[in-house]
A = this chain, B = another copy of it.
Amino acid sequence: MKIGELARLAGTNVETIRYYERDGLLPVPARSEGNYRIYGDSHVQRLSFIRRCRGLVMTLDEIRVLLHFKESPQENCADVNRLLDRHIGHVAHRMQELQELERQLKDLRERCGEARDAAHCGILDGLSQAFVPGGKTASHVQGTHRHAANRNLAKGNQGNQV
């Protein structure tokens, strides 16, 4: 099959497939006479695996580790477990941060019930004072502002994220 069909089957778009190939996540496929990439079932499997992992907001590097284990069935999978545990930790951590963030934002929102002139807006006042903005962040799960073009995965944003 050609790249367009692979894209449809795996729910990706074509540029992403070519990007994964450049990035070494997908093997370089055969080419047709007209220089078109030619794929088979194994590519569908592998790409689907990658997209499912991305749907779980793993980084491409994490996915690389998982792919390595898929290809080395005799190895011990303890690293897979560790990777997933760490990833779950990231997600949990990010959720805590967001909860704190939500609390702060709601606090702030309550400072200005109705519209008035900006000089007396409680929100702007609040933002001008030094309330403490939580702590540090060290996870990799992202994505609240995302405007367009997310086709069918929980990408959240262009980086990777939990």
* Residues of A participating in the B interface, judged by any CB pair closer than 8 Å: 45, 48-49, 51-53, 55-57, 59, 66, 69-70, 72-78, 80-81, 84-85, 87-88, 90-95, 97-99, 101-102, 104-106, 108-109, 112, 114-121, 123-124, 127-128, 130-131, 133-148, 150-162
Contacts and interface: CB of A to CB of B under 8 A. Distances in A.
A107 to B, nearest CB: 10
A81 B136 CA distance: 27
Contacts of A116: 76-77
6 contacts: A51-B133, A75-B117, A76-B116, A80-B118, A94-B98, A137-B155
Contacts of A162: 98, 101, 143-145
A60 B104 CA distance: 19
A124 B153 CA distance: 19
B144 A144 contact: no
Contact of A138 (B49, B102, B127, B147): B147
Contacts of A160: 144-145, 157
A74 B117 contact: yes
B49 A118 contact: no
